[in-house]
Amino acid sequence: MKQLLVIAFTVLSTVAYSQKYFTRSGEISFYSSTPVEDIEAHSNSASSIFDVETGAGEFSVPMKSFQFEKALMQEHFNENYVESDEYPKGTFKGKFTNIENIDFSTKGEYPVNVEGKLTIHGVTKEIKTSGYFIIDDGIKGEAQFTVSPSDFDIEIPDVVRDKIAKVIKIKVSMNYKEFKR
Amino acid sequence: MKKFLIALVIAVLVVAAYGIYQWNKPHRDVENEDTKLVLTSDSLQAFYGQSPDSAKKMFLDQAVVVTGEVQSIEGDSTTTVLLPGAACSMESDQLKINKGDRVKIKGICTGYDDLFQEVRIDRGVLIK
């Protein structure tokens, strides 16, 4: 009986304390829009883990995984702007601050607030944004925020200044699955 | 004078052609790229684990061929094949492989993912 209790307790505490969700194929896109030109790039290779109990979450995306329509733009992005040979990934480490308001066992769409540290091009900035968790058969997390290249020490040369927006929109969409060890 | 004008027109055309070629130049054709970097997925992971800097110099953005036993196949926006120590984002969603198969995947090494402690391969294709 005592053993059974120990087992039951162990199982329960594992469920309660380490319910993590993950993906390796999260989508991150960014959009630069100016009167001269619209540029977008997409990656489907972002990895992410978050903890349902604490709300702690992070993601990591290989900069080389961003695909542009034009190979030339992709080359400029990697070589001149984010310098991906030197800084191969973008990372975010933070927290869903209102995780307690989300009922992960009931289907629906829940607004979430996210804050944390975003690192691109070797520079870390605090960001704060909001998004949604859509609870269905899995958990889908979506968020949008904006960044300025200058905040991350990314210099845009004069010749292309009109073609690259001062503020870049970033969309994040992750289909999470339960993490089983 | 006439000669000069002809030369100028040719020069302008050459520059324009080069510009147009650059603007429309094709994306990398990873599948047909030659590579000498052929290794097992777990040894690639070990490289990154032991000396991240020299691994970065050697593998980042290079076409690589990794071999290993399929641990799982996951993903919805893109199919990701998990080998020991490496996660490969595949070009195709229709892969005739199963968990436990030994496979060879060619793709671009995009770096090391600290979250899962594994190497990331992008634009992966199965090769024989």
Q: How far apart are CA A28 and CA A59, in angstroms?
A: 10
Of A48, A62, A67, nearest to B111 by CB-CB distance is: A62
Q: How confident is the model at residue B75 (pLDDT cuts 50, 70, 90)?
A: confident
Q: Which of A49, A70, A88 sits opposite B115 (nearest CB)?
A: A49
Per-residue pLDDT of chain A (181 residues; tens, 9 = 90+): 666 655 555 555 444 556 899 999 999 999 999 999 999 999 999 999 999 999 999 999 999 999 999 999 999 999 999 999 999 999 999 999 999 999 988 999 999 999 999 999 999 999 999 999 999 988 999 999 999 999 999 998 888 889 999 999 999 999 999 887 6
Map tokens 């199965």 to a residue. Answer: B126
Domains and CATH numbers, chain B: 30-126 (2.40.50.140)
Return the residue of B nearest to A59 by Cα. B115
pTM over 0.95: no
pLDDT per position as a tens digit, A68-104 = 999 999 999 999 999 999 999 999 999 999 999 999 8
* B89: nearest CB among A44, A58, A177: A44
B88-116: pLDDT as tens digits: 999 988 888 999 999 999 999 999 999 99
User: b/e per residue, B38-68, with b = 16+ CB within 10 A?
Assistant: eebbbebbebbeeeeeebbeebbbebbbbbb
Most A-contacting residue of B18, B90, B122 (CB-CB within 10 A), to test interface: B122
The interface pTM score, or ipTM, of the predicted complex is: 0.88
For A55-65, write each residue's pLDDT tens digit. 999 999 999 99
Using a CB-CB cut-off of 8 Å, the residues of chain B touching A24 are: 74-75, 80, 82, 87, 89, 116
CA dihedral B34, B38, A70, A61 (to 10 degrees): -170
Three-class SS state of A110: strand
Candidates A76, A52, A49, A50; CA nearest to A63 is: A76
